[in-house]
Amino acid sequence: MNKEELLKRISIDTKICFGKPCILGTRIWVSLILDNIAAGISEEEILSAYPSLTKEDIRAALAYAAELTHDRYVSLVSESPHEIQA
């Protein structure tokens, strides 16, 4: 499945979830999927918690996030990379 096909799985409708990007046909926010991935939740755990999702939906959420970062960014206040300790 190519990027264009994946992005067709994302729905933005002001009448659903206040217009937040969701997986088409669900009320599952793209940001919810991304937050889970960022928290280290496995794909299998996400799919188990949200049975209406598919692997392609998770890939669609990632593709959507990637699209957003091509030309835009959100400035985050954080420590300098040299100050971060592992």
Residue at 48 is within a domain: yes
CATH number at residue 18: 1.10.10.10
Q: Indicate yes or no: pTM above 0.85.
A: no
pLDDT at 56 over 60: yes
Residue at 16 is within a domain: yes
For residue 45, what are the contacts with CB-CB under 8 A and spacing of at least 6?
36
Q: How large a percentage of the chain has pLDDT more than 90?
A: 77
Q: What are the contacts of 18-25 at 24+ separation with CB within 8 A?
A: 21/64, 23/52, 23/53, 23/57, 23/60, 23/61, 25/52
The total of structural domains in the chain comes to 1
Number of residues that make up the chain: 86
pLDDT at 83 over 90: no
pLDDT at 24 over 80: yes
Residue at 84 is within a domain: no
SS3 content of the chain, % helix, strand, coil (to 5): 50, 5, 45
Place of tokens 């933005």: 12
